[in-house]
Amino acid sequence: MVFSSAFFLFVFLPLFLAVYYLVPARARSLVITVGSWAFYAWWRVDFLALYAAVTVWTYGFGAAIAAAPDPRSALRRTGIGVAGSLAVLAYFKYYGFFATSFAEAFGLDPATSFFVLNVILPIGVSFFVFESISYMVDIYRKDAEPAQSFVDFAAFLALFPHLIAGPVMRYKDLAAQITRRSHTVAKFSAGCTLFMIGLAKKVLIADSVAPIADGLFPLAVPSLMDAWLAAVAFTVQLYFDFSGYSDMAVGLGLMIGFRLVRNFHFPYVSRSITEFWRRWHISLSLWLRDYLYIPLGGSRKGPLRTYFNLFVTMVLGGFWHGANWTFLIWGAWHGALLAIERLLGARAGRRAAVAGETADQHRGAGDRSPWPRAIALPLTLTFVVLGWVMFRAPDVASAFGLYGGMIGLNGLWLSTDADWRLARFDLAVLVIGVLIVFIEPRLTKRFWAGGGTGGLSRAAIASLALVVLAAASVLKLSADAYSPFLYFQF
């Protein structure tokens, strides 16, 4: 089940909210657990058993780590617990990749090799395994207390707003909210607003731009215009798809009293890759920093070790996205850029994004770009777009085929092979999406606070616009009948 589906919007969500608010407060964690497991089982009932097993495993080892008689026992129990969770990820996500690579390295046919298995990837496995690991590690570090009950922990891990696509949450950030949280009309209203914004991003923009990327990426000999149009289309599609889904997740959390972390903050107006990773998939960036980069030594062991740690962290972060050489290369690309920028003096600010804050205000929190101001933004965006080509391509050869088109090896103008694949409406939405990317910070600032605008309050104008966008989203959703989410595969 996805948020952008008629069944979720008109059946599951109203039913869940009705039950949630009718039961006593003490029973709401159980309602969250049962409702979220039903949400997950809608995809495949059999994989719900895997989810439940990871939940029991993590809760049990969390309690065992907390009860360890000495630090050595605690470390041993943490190692076993983390290894068990990683084993789930390794088998379901990476076994096929390594088995296929092994077969090819020895000249075997993967299709007939007995050890190459067709393993189905459970949706959201990367997210809930990371959350499982952070729970056990935080208890070992004494950064968090174990959950008061199994139901409370199950409600955290299964919380359906972030169950299959993040944000990547840590139990210590939600522990107080699991046991006690406020439910107000203002919070519910803010959640509805954010959900409608996310739905419009996903359905009206991402789903409309998707046919351009899907049609142009497979071209065998793309021209310069073909290739750049494909790359820009996917750049827009991915942002509005993922940030829209994250907005819906945060909005749903607010509807039931939870304040989830913000996952995107205008990433395409960044002036360095260092700044980009403080704005893109923020919850994952923080997770990689706290559970991988810092344990590797962070920036505490000299410049060369810092560059190495940045590179390794991003390579593993790329591999987290998928079992394919393309993701490893994409991670290495960003890791190398981060290391180069650190060498040139880049610094990332420490303060978290504040709701309603513009990109320029947020940039003042300590970001320092190593690139000349006049080219910093277009250069950074070019780096990002080039990376997305490798991220989107089915294999490395296809990615380099598109790169060849981007430098004009196959001609300059739109090819006839590409022309018939493009619809004017989709191209118009792509232009609108590009414009929104750059004016979104100003729109957020303008309509976040109240005030007069031609006799109408900004809040009233924003509310009217949201109603129109929500209606348009539902109509388009009904017409399309299918609205896949890109990060399901991760």
Q: Among all residues, which ones are annotated catalytic?
A: 321
DSSP label at residue 411: B
| CA 466 distance to own-chain centroid | 24
Q: Report the C-alpha gap between 21 and 23 in whole angstroms.
A: 6
Closest CA to 322 of 244, 381, 241, 390: 390
CB half-sphere exposure, 399, CA atoms < 13 A: 18
199: region left, alpha or beta (phi > 0 left; psi from -120 to 50 alpha): alpha
Residue 93 contacts by C-beta under 8 Å, 6 or more apart in sequence?
A: 121, 125, 126, 322, 323
**128-163 burial, b for 16+ CB within 10 Å, e for fewer?**
bbbbbbbbbbbbbeeebebbeeebbbbbbbbbbbbb
Closest CA to 427 of 272, 271, 232: 232
Residue 296 contacts by C-beta under 8 Å, 6 or more apart in sequence?
A: 309, 312, 313
Radius of gyration over every alpha carbon of the chain, rounded to an integer in angstroms: 23
Helix (H) or strand (E) holding 431: helix 424-448
The string of DSSP codes covering 156-169 is HHH-GGGTTT----
Can you tell me whether residue 109 is helix, strand or coil? Answer: coil
User: Please, are residues 35 and 19 in contact by the beta-carbon 8 Å criterion?
Assistant: yes
Q: Report the C-alpha gap between 305 and 296 in whole angstroms.
A: 9
Cα torsion angle, 471, 474, 480, 484, sign: positive
CA angle 207, 212, 218 (to 5 degrees): 120
User: Please, are residues 56 and 85 in contact by the beta-carbon 8 Å criterion?
Assistant: no
User: Please, are residues 179 and 232 in contact by the beta-carbon 8 Å criterion?
Assistant: no
DSSP label at residue 488: G
Query: Residue 179 burial by CB count (10 A; 0-12/13-18/19+): exposed, middle or buried?
Result: middle
